[in-house]
Amino acid sequence: MNALFARHALLPDGWRHDVLLEWDIHGDLTRVAAGAQAPLKVARVNYVLPGMVNLHSHAFQRALGGLTERAGDDGEKDSFWTWRDLMYRFAARITPQQIEAIAAQLFAECLRHGYTSLCEFHYLQRDVDGRSYARPAETAERVAAAGQAAGIGLTLLPVLYSHAGFGEQPLKPEQARFRTNVDDVLGIVEALGALRSGQLEVGAAPHSLRAATLGQIRTLAEALPAGRPLHIHIAEQQAEVRQCLDALKRRPVQYLLDELGIDARWCLVHATHLDDDEVARLGRSGAVAGLCPTTEANLGDGLFPLAPFIAAGGRFGIGSDSHVSQSPVEELRWLEYGQRLQHQHRNVAVTRGQRNVGDYLWQAALRGGAQAAGRRVGALEAGKRADLIVLDGTHPNLDGVRDDEVLGRLVFCGNDNLVRDVLCGGHWVVQGGRHVAQDAIAQRYRQAVRELREV
Ligand code: NGQ
Ligand code: ZN
């Protein structure tokens, strides 16, 4: 039977008791009733949360994680830009089959840690010589296949990538695999349309103001079917802000807000460097800030102004971006800890109505993530996808805790993965802490990594 009985479940308006959840064969929740009787033969569990949305991913970078942590010898300080050179070198030789194997491993890991949706910001779209594949959507289709193998919900975002920097600088040779114009992207969006389902949506993503012009971004946004999400990297590094001021006479987020009618369709990824006016305007815009705390820390980006952004009514979600972490717990923990370290006080991510940091972070990241994904996810309610995680109620950290303590324990205490079972789109994809296809997926991943190391 497609049902589960949770003694405690996090519903949109907070924790509820004795919740009966039912879903249909399409993977949609059909009923979520609190204060219910447990029917015979329906499994009973202790703590259930909606699965988290991972709103920013470059899946292939999973295989590079942890391998760029050695300082260069040439006296130049390592930075985002020196990391990017290493990442380009890695991206130069990877094949579609390897992309699929790496993505499947990543997606299984994400599911095991409680992500049930992921937005793939997909720019590795040409072959190793910079030519279009016979099927221009080849690599995006490989990511979709990996999503299906792992059983995660996806939003595919084919990327518009035409320039190396502000002022329409020509692409560098090492960026040849990324090259697309607006028509290329729309062609890939169209080809991927055949894959749209309850588990998969298709949007688009101008890579950044460095890689796409305003005219291109406008054309793409207008041509994309209504309601599809649009994502863009923005204001991640100080150097980018300076270049934007030089070239366009405005700060990156200011420029987007002035020129593009940024609204709820948009996800602004990173948006790290904002002035007060940008914080207020972005907060009012309805757009989602796509925060990726572990990658932003790893790359030395800076800290997002979270408290004023929340106060301005801003929406945000979390992403694992370069995949130095595959855990929403770690993203949310570092999001809050960055603020504590910076401002030297505690319990920053709260509102007047929600004083509980863990509850606020989890729910806010769900709302923002769902919006950025453009899919019916992020809440346990009828009509949404049957995406949920069952926590290990026998773990000492959860033993006997009150409802209002669960997310504090999950997000801020310890390193064990408390995710026991995961249901995604109505299928149990993680059981007892193991992904159901873990071994086969890991074997293909190991093979891909071995091949890449041999090149
Ligand atoms: C990316 N990653 O596209 O993978 C970027 C680096 C760039 C992050 N921004 C490349 N974290 O921004 O030019
Ligand atoms: Zn990114």
The catalytic residue among 184, 301, 321, 421 is: 321
Nearest CA to ligand 1 atom 6: 84
Q: Are residues 36 and 82 in the same domain?
A: no
How many Å apart are CA 215 and CA 203, to the nearest integer?
Answer: 18
Give exposure, 411-443, as e/b (b: 16+ Cβ within 10 Å): bebeeebbbbbbbbbbeebbeeeebbebeebbe
Q: Indicate if 334 and 281 belong to the same structural domain.
A: yes
**406/390 Cα distance (integer angstroms):** 12
- Whether 400 is covered by a domain: the verdict is yes
Q: Give mean pLDDT in consecutive 10-residue pieces for the chain, a chain of 455 residues.
A: 95 98 98 97 98 99 97 88 97 98 99 99 98 98 98 99 98 98 98 98 98 98 98 98 98 98 97 98 98 98 98 98 98 98 98 97 98 98 98 96 97 98 98 98 98 89
Residue 397 confidence (pLDDT)? 98
The predicted pLDDT at position 48 comes to 98
Residue nearest to atom 1 of ligand 1 (CA): 58
Q: Are residues 316 and 279 both part of a single domain? A: yes
Angle at 162 between CA 259 and CA 153, to 5 degrees: 80
Q: Which DSSP string do the residues of 47-98 spell out, in sequence order?
A: EEEEPEEEEEE-GGGGGGTTSS-S--SSSSPP-HHHHHHHHHHHHTT--HHH
Catalytic residue among 8, 113, 231, 270: 270
Please give the structure tokens belonging to residue 268. Answer: 């602004």
Q: Are residues 418 and 319 in the same domain?
A: no
- Distance, in Å, from the CA atom of 330 to the CA atom of 165, rounded to the nearest integer, reads 32
Q: Which domain holds residue 217?
A: 52-373
Q: Are residues 31 and 74 in the same domain?
A: no
Is 182 found in the same domain as 159?
yes
Indicate whether 64 belongs to any domain. Answer: yes
Last residue within a domain, chosen from 321, 343, 373 = 373
Assess if residue 451 is contained within a domain. no
Which residues have C-beta within 8 Å of that of residue 220, sequence separation ≥ 6? 160, 182, 185, 186, 204, 206, 212, 230
Instruction: Pick the atom of ligand 1 nearest to 321's CA.
Output: 11
Dist. CA 290 → ligand 2 center (Å): 10
Question: Residue 301 is which amino acid?
Answer: D
List of residues 6+ apart from 273 with CB closer than 8 A: 235, 236, 237, 238, 240, 241, 251, 252, 302
Q: Pick the closest to residue 192 from 184, 180, 202, 182 (CA basis).
A: 202
The DSSP 8-state label assigned to residue 8 in this structure reads E
Do residue 45 and residue 57 come from a single domain? Answer: no
Task: Looking at the CA of residue 301, tell me the nearest atom of ligand 1.
Answer: 11
Around ligand 1, the residues with Cβ closer than 6 Å are 58, 84, 208, 233, 236, 295, 299, 321-322
454, part of any domain: no
CB 320 within 8 A of CB 295: yes
For the CA of 123, the closest atom of ligand 1 is 3
> Does residue 127 form part of some domain?
yes
Active site residue 321: yes
Q: Evaluate whether residue 447 is within a structural domain.
A: no
CATH number at 214 reads 3.20.20.140
Query: Is residue 337 located within the same domain as residue 214?
Result: yes
Which of 88, 236, 267 maximizes ligand 1 atoms within 8 Å of its Cβ, making it the mutation to test the pocket? 236
How many structural domains does the chain have?
Answer: 2
* Residue of minimum CA distance from atom 10 in ligand 1: 84
Ligand with an atom nearest the CA of residue 165: 1
Cβ atoms 291, 302 nearer than 8 A = no
Q: Which amino acid is at 284?
A: R
Q: What pLDDT is attached to residue 75?
A: 72
In a domain, 455, yes or no: no
Whether residue 113 lies in the annotated active site: no
Residue 453 lies in a domain: no
- Does 87 lie in the same domain as 216? yes
Burial of 18 (0-12, 13-18, 19+ CB in 10 A): middle
The pair of structure tokens assigned to 214 is 């305003």
Tell me, yes or no, whether 334 and 189 share the same domain: yes
- Starting from the CA of residue 267, give the closest ligand: 2
CA 147, CA 155: separation in Å to the nearest integer? Answer: 10
Per the listing, tokens 């793939």 go with: 120
Token pair for 385? 């996808």
- 57 CA from centroid of ligand 2 (Å): 6
Going from the Cα of 349 to the center of ligand 2, the distance in angstroms, rounded, reads 23
Task: Determine the pLDDT at residue 187.
Answer: 98
CATH number at residue 428: 2.30.40.10
Q: Position 142: which residue type?
A: R
- 257 and 401 in one domain? no
Check residue 1 and give its pLDDT. Answer: 67
Q: Are residues 358 and 400 in the same domain?
A: no
